[in-house]
Amino acid sequence: MVRIFGFLVGAFFTVMLVVSFVIGAYNQVTEPPAATVEHEFLQHPHAISWSFNGPFGKYDKAQLQRGFQVYTEVCSACHSLKHVAFRDLKDLGYEDAEVKAIAKNWKSKISEKNPVTGDVTERAPTPADLVPVVYYAGSGTPPDLSLIAKARHGGADYVHSLLTGYKEQAGYKNEEGKELLKEFPDAKTPSGLYFNPYFANLNLAMPPPLVSDGQVTYGEGNPKPTVDQMSQDVSAFLAWAAEPKMEARKATGFAVVIFLLFGAVLAYLSYQSIWSTKEH
């Protein structure tokens, strides 16, 4: 009884699927979907050997400080970093006094509304505060950068490739040598957007933020602030902003894995000894 009903249900689904398949196959053959410009011309981020790559990777504090400087001077005009608190900057190697100064001198203030009168007062941030949200009035919505390194495939590699990846659309060829505007003449970058083959839609609203070497002045003992260097530094900083606990995570992981390896060996030997007299 069950089997007959089951057989009928199975037959029904199978038949409907075969019909779907045949119709789908027919459509695929008669009107194959056209290749899209994104599919043909999207570039994958190139891999950088970050100091924090691998199971023993660590952040380079000097790089993080430079990256923070780039964020402060370039990115924070439009992008928030609202999950990072000023006190977290101690991870970058700053002293308590320096952190206090960074917070106090931050270009935007914390607004507080008096719950009784409704009056809004502003005060300078303290280390306990989160970085104040940036309200961007222009077109487009600059995403918050606290998690950007985890919110995109490719992470820090993607951020760096994006920042340095702006190209001229006219004459742009992909790796196979196909020229974009020849293959897709309708895919011209709309005005107000900028062509960047690393971005999913190929055209994004952010103009290239890092345009010239020396845009940010690095202190003594640091590498030259070329566009590539500034981009790498800010990408590393954003990787830290997304995963401040990465070093603790890897260090704890090492101890736990060694412990469990040893434990597994002991468990195996115990298992063997208990079963040694029993064939199984």
The DSSP symbol for 105 reads T
Q: Say which residues have a Cβ less than 8 Å from residue 38's Cβ, sequence separation at least 6.
A: 200, 201, 202
Q: Establish if 3 lies at the interface with another protein (CB under 8 A).
A: yes
Give the Cα separation of 45 and 17 in Å (integer): 39
Site mask, another protein, residues 151-190, x = CB under 8 A?
xxx-------------------------------------
Q: Establish if 55 lies at the interface with another protein (CB under 8 A).
A: yes
Q: Burial level of 126, CB count in 10 A (0-12/13-18/19+)?
A: middle
Q: Rg (Cα) of the chain, in Å, rounded?
A: 27
Q: Which amino acid is at 189?
A: T
Site mask, another protein, residues 199-238, x = CB under 8 A?
-x--------------------------------------
> Closer to another protein at the Cβ: 211 or 264?
264
Give me the half-sphere count of Cα atoms (radius 13 Å) on the Cβ side of residue 100.
Answer: 3
Q: Per CB under 8 A, which of residues 6..45 are in contact with another protein? A: 6-7, 9-11, 13-14, 16-21, 23-25, 28, 33
Binding span for another protein by CB under 8 A among 3-11, 181-189, 211-219, 221-229:
3-11
Q: Establish if 142 lies at the interface with another protein (CB under 8 A).
A: no
Q: Per CB under 8 A, which of residues 74..93 are in contact with another protein? A: 83, 85, 87-88
The three-class DSSP label of residue 214 is coil
Query: Closest distance between another protein and the C-beta of residue 75, in Å?
Result: 18
Q: Say which residues have a Cβ less than 8 Å from residue 126's Cβ, sequence separation at least 6.
A: 86, 100, 103, 104
Q: Establish if 47 lies at the interface with another protein (CB under 8 A).
A: no
Among 177, 186, 191, 278, which residue interacts with another protein (rule: CB under 8 A)? 278
Q: Establish if 252 lies at the interface with another protein (CB under 8 A).
A: yes
Interhelix angle 155-163/227-242, rounded to 10 degrees, is: 150
Please count the other Cβ atoms lying within 10 Å of the Cβ belonging to residue 246. Answer: 15
DSSP letters, 232-271, are HHHHHHHHHHH-TTHHHHHHHHHHHHHHHHHHHHHHHHHH
Report the interface residues with another protein, using CB under 8 A: 2-3, 6-7, 9-11, 13-14, 16-21, 23-25, 28, 33, 55, 83, 85, 87-88, 127-128, 143, 146-147, 150-153, 200, 242, 244-245, 248-250, 252-254, 256-257, 259-264, 266-271, 273-280
